Amino acid sequence: MIFLRNALFVSFVALVGLATSIQGKEPPLQSHPATDAYPGWRLGVQLWSFREFTFFEAVDKVAELGLCWIEAFPGQKLGKDYPDIDTHYTVAPEYRKVMKEKLARTGIRLINYGVVGLPNDETECRKVFGFAKDMGIETLTTEPPEEAFALIDRLCREYKIKIAIHNHPKPSHYWSPDTVLKVCQGRSNWIGACADTGHWTRSGLEATDAIRKLEDRMISLHMKDINAFGKNSGHDVIWGTGKTNASAILAELHRQNFQGVFSVEYEHNWKNNVPDIRGCVDFFSTEGAKLRSSGWRKLFQADLSNAQLKTEGSWSVSNDVYSRHGGGDLWTKESFGDFILDFDFKLEKNSNSGVFIRTGDYNWLPWVEVQVLDSHGKKPDKHACGGIFDIVAPSVNSVLPPGNWNRMTISAVGSRITVVLNGQAVTDIDLDHWTTPGQNPDGSNNKFNVAYKDLPRSGFIGFQDHGQEIWYRNIKIKPLAQ
């Protein structure tokens, strides 16, 4: 089991483009990174939490929360433009493509799927496994009949897809971890448990004890915190405020060296549960980082106490959305050298902004500016969104129309700057090639009176107030060893 977990974790690291090279440097980003606070703990949402909404709307809500992973379930309507299509595993290939394109734009990965039935019927099971393989799903969450496990085990090994046995409350068949362990006995390590912590609480079980018992078979969690213990009662509350002892669960999984997926399944405040789930995310990120930090953290404090503002009140933060009010740029007080910066932004028509990196002085020009601009539908040039302002154009213009949230990732490692915008690698430059003031390597002119190779390799990060409306959210940074 340990070998399997480690192999999957290595694959996960490679997937998000954050593997360290032999020289100890980060390779150029090709996709948006995962920004989880604890290395190997992937925090996502079971989309059942957003069952009142379409798959497209649910994905947007996960992006709003700044998360990178989802667990889908069979039967959710795909989108308002597809009223007769849902996410059942029999969905046609052309609509699977639509799902994949939506996920790629947001940088969100569909890795778990369930709860889905797996009967003792090879033809039907192959439909489920085939869907999962096509969609890149790692784990099927399920409650199969016991007589189906020989078939399921064989298909798990064939398709290289895990199944995680889910527990509904007592008296459902798998409510006790003892039953899960019984059906796992003698089976491969592709079969294990999806621990629904809230349902254990409802069943009168201590979730930490159940997880300890399932140590060798833990694959994933439907993570909940419930406000009542036993009697199949209670509802979801923000993690750390209920009766499920979320802190102890995380500490136990840390002791086990667990590597896997935590799916937030929040079955309360159905129409407006994003604020509650955000509270769960904040709890998880804070507690997880205490146990073992991945290096990812929020760039600014919620009260902007670690920000440099030219004018007091020129920026504000509400529900992790940063809004400008006029009066100057938003700067860090801390200086950064090599780093990966990940954030979302939203523009109005003709909006203009930018992200300044490694600036030696708040008032000193020139600086490296990654352009944030309403250039949707225009030919990429040196002022287009995702390019380096007046230095290099993005390879493609992938900014979304005004009013949509975009995701951008900027990597600065030594002299190399890379930008990923809405799932596409758009810029990759080496500042050491800019050897002449006022001139780009291709012989074209730029407006700066310094060779970019001579710019500081460490400095402040700033978000520009150019006078037009701009919103940022989920601003996270991972400083890198230099």
Specify whether domain 36-294 bears CATH 2.60.40.1930.
Answer: no
Distance CA 45, CA 67 (A): 8
Task: Write down the pTM of the prediction.
Answer: 0.90
What residue segments make up the domains of the chain, in order of their start?
36-294, 307-479
Q: What SS3 class is residue 14?
A: helix
Distance CA 84, CA 54 (A): 11
Q: Is the N-terminal amide bond of 171 cis, ω within 30° of 0?
A: yes
Residues 6+ apart with CB under 8 A from 466: 351, 352, 353, 354
What are the pLDDT tens digits along the chain (482 aa)?
333 333 333 333 333 333 333 234 566 788 999 999 999 999 999 999 999 999 999 999 999 999 999 999 999 999 999 999 999 999 999 999 999 999 998 889 999 999 999 999 999 999 999 999 999 999 999 999 999 999 999 999 999 999 999 999 999 999 999 999 999 999 999 999 999 999 999 999 999 999 999 999 999 999 999 999 998 999 999 999 999 999 999 999 999 999 999 999 999 999 999 999 999 999 999 999 999 999 999 999 999 999 999 899 999 999 999 999 999 999 999 999 999 999 999 999 999 999 999 998 888 777 899 999 999 999 999 999 999 999 999 999 999 999 999 999 999 999 999 999 999 999 999 999 999 999 999 999 999 999 999 999 999 999 999 999 999 999 999 999 86
DSSP state of 258: -
- Token pair for 66: 């700044």
CATH superfamily name and code, 307-479: Exo-inulinase; domain 1 (2.60.120.560)
Distance CA 65, CA 59 (A): 10
SS3 annotation, 93-138: HHHHHHHHHHHHHHCCEEEEEECCCCCCCHHHHHHHHHHHHHHCCC
CB 257, CB 149: distance < 8 Å: no
CB 244, CB 226: distance < 8 Å: yes
* Residue-level pLDDT at 95: 98
Radius of gyration, alpha carbons of the chain = 24
Distance CA 10, CA 385 (A): 33
